[in-house]
Chain A
Amino acid sequence: MEIFIYNEVSGEELDFHELARYLEEKGARVEVRGGFFSRFAHSLEDVAKALAKMRIFDPAKPVVQEEPLYGEIKYEQRVLAGKAKAGGVLYDGFALQSYMRSLLPRREISLDKLHLVITSRLLATYDTDDRRYHARAVILGYPAIISTSGIVEAPAKPPEFYLQRRLLGEDPLAEAQLKQKLRQKILDYGDVRMGEVLKGYALQVLFYQLFGEAFCEEKRCRLYNAHWQEELIEAQFSEPELCLRHEAMLKQWKEKRK
């Protein structure tokens, strides 16, 4: 298995080589490739336009890709050129994945090749059951996408955070204090724990590609599909990192490769 890591992160310091080293330990060959779009797209102007079409404006309505605004395309161009940071915009995750897949050359598509894109963009997928979008930390599939802002926004913060915030109203001073008080239970932008959490999501992606199984029921296993940030922190910082069953699956795969 070859894993190709793409850096579509803007305004964040993340050690992709540390992530690569971790995945190599698990038995994969890993290459850090830089930007996905700069590698595969013929025109960044086309990419900017495509991204601008994926914006979600109403979480209750599936995105209908229509002509974007002049300024929306300009904004995406600035982000792609590294002149602006991505943030505050919600994109349709499946639309992004589908667009990225369309850019992958045929020779790059194989079950032995795992393309993993790490992005700062906040992604959501539309759920036909409750007919609304849900923010996502990871979009499994081909290519797989992990969203760093999704890691912060998708798993819920402790209930006390939301209850207190309702009481506080629009008070940035009090909210900042509340976040400081709860910092052991929540992940925030620029959090030093982000690199470790990223490894857990990358492992989910790898398991999905290898075994078609990304998640675990065990709360202390790194593959646990956490819906709360407190659970996510517990799953990613517990020892041993995997439950016995998943550890055995990985070991067996690693030995087969030898």
Chain B
Amino acid sequence: MIFEKVEEKDVTQAIVGEFSRMLSEYAESDVIIVGGGPAGLTAAKELASKGVKTLIIERNNYLGGGFWIGGYLMNKVTVRAPGEKVLDEIGVPYQEYVKGLYVTDGPHACSKLIAAACDAGARILNMTKVDDVVLREGNRVAGVVINWTPISALPREITCVDPISLQARVVIDATGHDAEVVNALVRRGLMKVRGYGAMWVERSEDAVVEHTGEAHPGLIVAGMAVSTVYGLPRMGPTFGAMLLSGKRAAEVALEMLERE
């Protein structure tokens, strides 16, 4: 026999016990990052490596968002300088295609970024969807209301499953164009979004990074959610802005945590 003898109940208890322990511990985090794509993962890596209690919420089973592939289902991803510095940090090889434009393998870059966030100490709740936000005085965002992703895919008659809430000192919306956390505020009439604009790759990357910041008290927007909120130009299949926006979001979150 190759493997140790373990009973079925041990396997079940290991899964339930450890998941419950983690969920209980992270019922209150320093930072909740909604969306585990390149921006969210970079923010998580930065924050967790500085000892910030960080939880990523991802609606899919897999992390990485669109970072696995470049444009048109081709799995080479591009970053413009200085985005390659993030690739250096996580140990991903790349080559300079023309001056200032770098190309690398999507699967390699994406898996390394996921590993970097996990290694730094970020915790992950996947297959979890944000339904709403937790609000405090002055309508400050103070957490998120979550439920299992499959719940939203089933008919309402058979899914009377109440969600649960998680608290955080700062929430980061890194859910891409959907801007799910922001839209929870929009539904409550607490915020407006501009919707994203026409493609203008040269300036859109800069604009996304520069607009990354607190969009509503307690809520930071990062990655393509920034584009949706502020009506910034769409960008092509380049990822430098996602990585740097994640870094910027982490910087802003640290400032907010210190301010508290």
User: A residues bordering B, Cβ < 8 Å?
Assistant: 55, 57, 69-72, 74-75, 78-79, 84-89, 122, 149, 170-173, 175-177, 180, 189
Contact = CB atoms under 8 A, between A and B. Distances in A.
Interface size class of B (residues with CB under 8 A): 35 or more
Given A84-B210, A171-B71, A172-B78, A89 B232 contact: yes
A78 B101 contact: no
12 contacts: A57-B231, A74-B214, A78-B210, A85-B206, A88-B211, A88-B233, A89-B207, A170-B201, A171-B236, A173-B103, A176-B98, A177-B98
B210 A87 contact: yes
Given A89-B232, A172-B236, A75 B210 contact: yes
A71 B197 contact: no
B50 interface: no
B97 A173 contact: yes
Contacts of B216: 70-71
Nearest to A88: B207
A87 B206 contact: yes
B194 A57 contact: yes
Contacts of A84: 210-211
A87 B229 contact: no
A240 B239 CA distance: 46
B211 A75 contact: yes
A57 B197 contact: yes
B105 to A, nearest CB: 15
Interface in B169-226: 191-192, 194, 197, 199-204, 206-208, 210-211, 213-217, 221
Interface string B223-244: 0000001111100111000000
B80 interface: yes
A69 B191 contact: yes
Top 4 closest A-B pairs, CB basis?
A: A88-B207, A71-B215, A88-B203, A170-B236
